[in-house]
Amino acid sequence: MKARFVGPITLVLSLSLGAAALGDPTPAPHATPSPGVAVPDIPGVPPTVMNSPVVQSILNAAGGLLQTTNGPTAYGKITYFKRFDLQLQTAPTVYRQVHLHRGTVINPRGTTLQPGMTVNVSGVPQSDGSLDANTITVQ
């Protein structure tokens, strides 16, 4: 179901970036080359386009659509941790519940999990969308 939205969102994003780039009359600044070093002329997206709330909302929506939350792995930032329950933020508005059990391996060994840590979790997906963690690796 999510895959059918990726094409139209990509089209809208590319059209809005192209239209915004054509509307900006100021040229992008060029890098000053070092003596003896060739610098390629790489076009960039103007900061006014990237800081646009419309572009940011499209990027956030695309990130949420592309993020999978039902597989055997999850990568994200810990937002909640207490004893055997953990919540990960895997995308700007996407969260996943993770359940620990006796025998869950936390790497590096001896690490105490805390909110704000970025982790990679692998385990067994549950029918409610949560993940029963076998291994948690702190990044």
CATH number of the domain within which 124 lies = 2.40.50.140
Q: 64 near 89, Cβ under 8 Å? A: no
Domain check: are 62 and 79 in the same one? no
Tokens of 87: 């919540």
- Domain region containing 133: 73-138
User: Quick one: pLDDT at residue 58?
Assistant: 73
**130 occurs within a structural domain:** yes
Are the CB atoms for 72 and 124 separated by under 8 Å? yes
Chain mean position to CA 45: 20
Q: Which pLDDT score is estimated for 121?
A: 94
Instruction: Indicate if the pLDDT at residue 64 is higher than 70.
Output: no
Per-residue pLDDT band at 110 (split at 50, 70, 90): confident
The pLDDT tens digits for 83-99 are 899 999 988 888 999 99
User: Could you tell me if 53 and 110 lie in one domain?
Assistant: no
pLDDT of residue 85: 94
Residue 2 pLDDT greater than 60, yes or no: no
Answer whether residue 2 is part of any domain: yes
What percentage of the chain exceeds 70 in pLDDT?
55
Whether pLDDT at 37 is above 70: no
Query: pLDDT at position 99, please?
Result: 95
In total, how many domains does the chain have?
2
CA-closest candidate to residue 19, choices 55, 53, 60: 55
Q: Is residue 35 part of a domain?
A: no
Tell me the per-residue pLDDT of 4-29, one tens digit each, with 9 for 90 and over.
Answer: 666 666 666 666 655 555 555 566 56
List the structure tokens of 11: 């089209």
pLDDT at 81: 94
Is 33 part of a structural domain of the chain? no
pLDDT-based confidence at 33, cuts 50/70/90? low
3-state secondary structure of 102: coil
